[in-house]
Amino acid sequence: MFKLFKRNRRTTSEYIFDNVNILIMLFICGITLYPIWYVVVNSLNDGVDAMRGGIYWWPREFTLENYKAVFQTPGIVTSFGVTVAKTVIGTITHVFFTAMVAYAISRRDLVGRNFYMLVGVITMFFSGGLIPYFLLIRDLGLFDNFLVYIIPTLFNFFHLIIFVSFFRELPTSLEEAAKMDGANDFMIFIKVIIPLSMPVIATIALFQGVYQWNDYFAGVIFVNNPDLQPIQTYLYKVVAESSSNQMMMNASGTVATKTVTSQSIKLATMVVTTLPIMLVYPFLQKYFVKGMLIGSVKG
Amino acid sequence: MEVKIQQPVEPAVNDPIAELSTKKERFKKIKKNFLNQKYLQVMALLGVVWMFIFNYIPMYGLIIAFKEYSIIRSISEAPWVGLMQFKEFLQDENFWIVLKNTLGISLIKLFIGFPLPIIFALLLNELTSMKLKKAVQTISYLPHFISWVVLGGILTTWLADIGIINDILLGMGLISERTNFLADPDNFWAIVILSDIWKELGWSAIIYLAAIAGVSPELYESSTIDGANRFQKMWHVTLPSIRPTITILFILAVSGVLNSNFDQILILRNSLNESASNVIDIYVYQTGLQNARYSYATAVGLLKAVIAFILLLSANKIVKKLNGTSLF
């Protein structure tokens, strides 16, 4: 009855449109999810068997050997460690540092505020480009140094703008009360502002966390030491430079199995690399979207 | 003078001595305020120092584009060579290849990749089921969070001669024998553009969805009274309402025409598809970092940045004239 009523409200062309629209949307979802599914089922299949091809929907010979091989290959484990370390340390320091500068700049009584803003806005339009940046990093002694993942990413002016617009909305009464108690501006930032700013901190932490987790270029150009390369750089070398034979040799040294191939380890590594973000993302979606919007409106 | 403060217009003072004393007083006041907020100043200045090191020193480093820089000498010691590096690039056989690939990929991306998220947002907005809308959104944002390295791994697997794309095309009878698609320069642009759309379609639609959500419901109500159907509402209400958003994103897209997606192309290119995959950013990376021609690569990068800035200003100006909205 209800359906009939609804159908009658719409004209025939609208009815057709609605259904076609739903089909288009389902199609988009399908082609979005399928490549991810494909990698997952192939990584769960016996490597030698997978070389025959034809595994599209479900593993033919289910095995966890590929994942075992991933976690028994020293190079991969080390790279995962680097990625986790740079993501955790890099994100915490970035959020703290950028928020601190943003808080100072958000204060309307800051002497020289306009000048500081100008210094930042110029960096949005002009940059030195790749080569001068590379020479700077080299001269700073950050080459082959873990800090190359941390210090050059400590600050981001777009993130500062998001922070500033959030801080501006905070009530000033708490700040003033803290000032009455004799707290200095830094203590106010730590004790009053940070606890009030968890939504925006979550947003920026997520952006930076994803950036840190996914970036491979810093590892390619600034790091030669394999013990310092993040997992994305490791994968880059496997994919782009087709050094998968190398990977296989590494793996076969530790894993005495004939069912694992370089291709199957590659797929398993890709799954392990992407899984953390895929698991976390749906729950934090609203923070991403919010941050994206503030950033685009102000930026 | 690093302190720049906007002062309200003061009445003209005729007496020079009085003028001097007010200036002095003002300076004293600023100094006092400055010292009173020393914690705040240190917090702000740390950021300024960071920007000085990581943004402004590289800008100074751009002068090596006019020099012959080498590792053994410092930037200031390197000899000046004027516009030699630029001339060399313009005469290089790679110049036209690089220009063609950069503009080709970017312009197709602009004409196909730019309208698609708008259409996607409009269609998504027309979904009657809220649950479905939410689910589609969540799924469509997902690929944005997959790194280009992992996507590159998927693509090299799929496009290989034993990959699934060959399976499908063979099954449909569209090709007669297996090929490795990434080894053929003729396919490279299509691969780059399609994979970019796959990755960013949903994410790029976020801004448009927000803009659509901000359209006043009264506009829809009054158009209903006027007898407009849904397509007419989409065309005459929704689209004009989000035009400012579209305009600003379009200006940004035009100014980014010389920016190829470096992360993406670096992982998908190989020696076989080089004639189609060599774009400006890759060329800078190769000549500068792999062949250590620092000055030459900096000149190429600088030329690109200057043209991009001119493009930004002209796109802004043209759009401002056409419909009144602009970035600045």
Burial group, residue A14, by CB count within 10 angstroms (0-12, 13-18, 19+): middle
* pLDDT higher than threshold 90 for residue B135: yes
Same domain, residue pair A116 and A143: yes
A14 and A119 housed in the same domain: no
8 Å CB contact between B116 and B201 = yes
- Residue A278 is predicted with a pLDDT of 86
Residue A245 has pLDDT above 90, yes or no: no
Within its chain, how far is the Cα of B145 from the centroid? 17
Q: Is the pLDDT of residue B1 over 50?
A: no
B49 inside 8 A of chain A by CB = no
Residues of A in contact with B281 (CB under 8 A): 130
pLDDT over 80 (residue B14) = no
How far away is chain B from the Cα of A256, in angstroms, using its nearest Cα? 25
What residue ranges do the domains of chain B occupy? 1-82, 85-323
Mean pLDDT of chain B: 88
Distances (CA, A) of B29 to B9, B26, B44: 18, 5, 20
Of B43, B57, B284, the CB nearest to A131: B284
Q: Give me the residue from A111, A120, A129 closest to B30, CB to CB.
A: A111
pLDDT at B268 over 70: yes
> CA-CA distance, B159 to A125, in Å (whole number)?
38
- Give the domain range for residue A13: 2-64
Q: In terms of residues, how long is chain A? A: 299
Burial B214-244 (b: 16+ CB within 10 A, else e): ebeeeebeeeeeeebebeebbeebbeebbee
Q: Which CATH number fits domain B85-323: 1.10.510.10, 1.10.1740.10, 3.40.50.150, 1.10.3720.10?
A: 1.10.3720.10
Task: Give A54-70 pLDDT, tens digit per residue.
Answer: 889 999 989 999 999 99
- DSSP, collapsed to helix, strand or coil, labels residue A156 as coil
- The whole-angstrom distance between A164's CA and the closest CA on chain B is 12
Minimal Cα distance from A231: which residue of B? B149
Restricting to B residues 116-155, those with a Cβ less than 8 Å away from any Cβ of A are 120, 123-124, 126-128, 132, 135-136, 138-143, 145-150, 152-154
Structure tokens at B89: 């690039």
Contact B210 A115 (CB under 8 A): no
pLDDT of B320: 85
Assess whether A251 and A156 both reside in one domain: yes
Mean pLDDT on A156-177? 90
Q: Which residues of A touch B6 (CB under 8 A)?
A: 114
pLDDT at position A21, please?
Answer: 94
CA-based nearest residue in chain B for residue A106: B44
Instruction: Output the CA angle B195-B196-B197, nearest 5 degrees.
Output: 90
Percent of chain A with pLDDT over 70: 88
Read off the DSSP letter of residue B11. Answer: P
What is the CB-side half-sphere exposure of residue A101 using CA atoms within 13 A?
A: 26
Q: CA-based angle A264:A265:A266, to the nearest 5?
A: 90
Q: Quick one: tokens of A25? A: 């949307």
User: Given pLDDT bands bounded at 50, 70 and 90, which one contains residue B300?
Assistant: very high
A28 and A83 share one domain: no
Confidence bin at A222 (pLDDT 50/70/90): very high
For B204-261, strand residue ranges (E) read: none
Distance spanning both ends of chain A, measured CA to CA: 50
The pLDDT value given to residue A64: 92
pLDDT over 90 at B328, yes or no? no
Any idea which of A4-18, A89-103, A129-143, B261-275 has the lowest mean pLDDT?
A4-18
| Model confidence pLDDT, tens digit, residues B59-89 | 999 999 999 998 778 888 888 999 999 999 9
> Is A101 in contact with B44 (CB distance < 8 Å)?
yes
Separation between Cα atoms, residue B19 and residue A296, nearest integer Å: 45
Looking at the structure, do residues A106 and A12 belong to the same domain, yes or no? no
Contact A293 B210 (CB under 8 A): yes
DSSP state of A153: G
**A156 shares its domain with A182:** yes
Which two three-digit tokens encode residue B141? 């944002």
Number of domains in chain A: 2
pLDDT at A258: 64
Cα separation, B88 vs A158, in Å, equals: 36
Domain match, A149 and A284 both: yes
Rounded to a whole number of angstroms, the distance from the CA of A236 to the nearest CA of chain B is 6
DSSP H or E stretch at residue B245? helix B243-255
Q: How many CB atoms lie within 10 A of CB A216?
A: 27
Phi, psi angle pair for B217, to nearest 5°: -60, -25
CB B313 within 8 A of CB B291: no
Query: Region B216-230: what's the mean pLDDT?
Result: 87
Least confidently predicted of A152-166, B28-42, B82-96, B182-196? B28-42
Chain B window 75-114: which residues touch A at a Cβ cutoff of 8 Å?
75
Q: A137 and A29, same structural domain? A: no
Q: Are A203 and A231 contained in the same domain?
A: yes
pLDDT of B288: 94
Chain A residue numbers with beta carbons less than 8 Å from the beta carbon of B50 are 97, 101, 154-155
B165 touches chain A (CB under 8 A): no
Helices (H), ranges, chain A? 2-9, 12-43, 47-50, 65-72, 74-106, 113-125, 130-139, 157-169, 173-180, 185-188, 194-196, 198-214, 217-222, 231-240, 244-254, 262-298
Nearest CA in chain A to B204: A292
Residue B8's pLDDT is what?
Answer: 47
* DSSP line for B96-114: HHHHHHHHHHHHHIIIIIT
CATH of the domain at A163: 1.10.3720.10
pLDDT band at B46 (very low <50, low <70, confident <90, very high): very high
**Do you know the residue count of chain B?**
328
Average pLDDT of span A1-21: 69
Q: Are residues A74 and A16 in the same domain?
A: no
Please tell me which residue, A89 or B274, carries the higher pLDDT value. Answer: A89
Q: What crossing angle do the helices spanning A74-106 and A157-169 adopt, rounded to 10°?
A: 50
Q: Which residue in the block uniquely carries the two structure tokens 């803290």?
A: A178
**Residue contact B51–A155, C-beta within 8 A:** yes
Phi-psi region of B209 (alpha: psi -120 to 50; beta: other; left: phi over 0): alpha
Q: What is the pLDDT of residue A173?
A: 87
The pLDDT of residue A227 is above 70: yes
Higher pLDDT, A51 or B96: B96
Same-domain check for residues A114 and A237? yes
Q: Which residues of A touch B53 (CB under 8 A)?
A: 136, 140
Does B20 lie at the interface with A, CB-CB under 8 angstroms? Answer: no
- Whether B170 and chain A come into contact, CB under 8 Å, resolves to no
- Per-residue pLDDT at A27: 96
Whether chain A has a CB inside 8 Å of the CB on B22: the answer is: no
Structure tokens at B132: 């479905």
pLDDT at residue B265 greater than cutoff 70 = yes
B 175-214: CB under 8 A from A: 198, 201-203, 206-207, 210
- Residue A260: what pLDDT? 84
Separation of alpha carbons B139 and B132, rounded Å: 11
According to the model, what pLDDT value does residue B217 have?
87
A11 contacts in B (CB within 8 Å)?
229
B297 chain-A contacts, CB cut-off 8 A = 130-131
Structural tokens at position B53: 């090191």
Question: pLDDT tens for residues B24-34?
Answer: 888 888 888 88
Which of A38, A64, A90 is the C-terminal boundary of a domain?
A64
**Contacts (Cβ under 8 Å, ≥6 apart) of A284:** A202, A206
Q: Which residue among A25, A112, A236 sits closest to B4, beta carbon to beta carbon?
A: A112
Cross-chain residue pair B4–A115, CB shorter than 8 Å = yes
pLDDT value at position A279? 86
- Give the end of a domain, one of A32, A49, A64: A64
Quote the tokens at residue B104.
Answer: 């080709």
Q: What is the pLDDT of residue B327?
A: 73
Instruction: Answer yes or no: do A185 and B37 touch at CB < 8 A.
Output: yes
Residue A292 pLDDT > 80, yes or no?
no
Give pLDDT, residue A298. Answer: 46
Pairs of CB atoms within 8 A across A/B: 265
Indicate whether A249 pLDDT > 60.
Answer: no
Contact call for B34 and A104, based on CB within 8 A: no
A131/B301 Cβ within 8 A: yes
Cβ pair B141, A206 in contact under 8 A: no
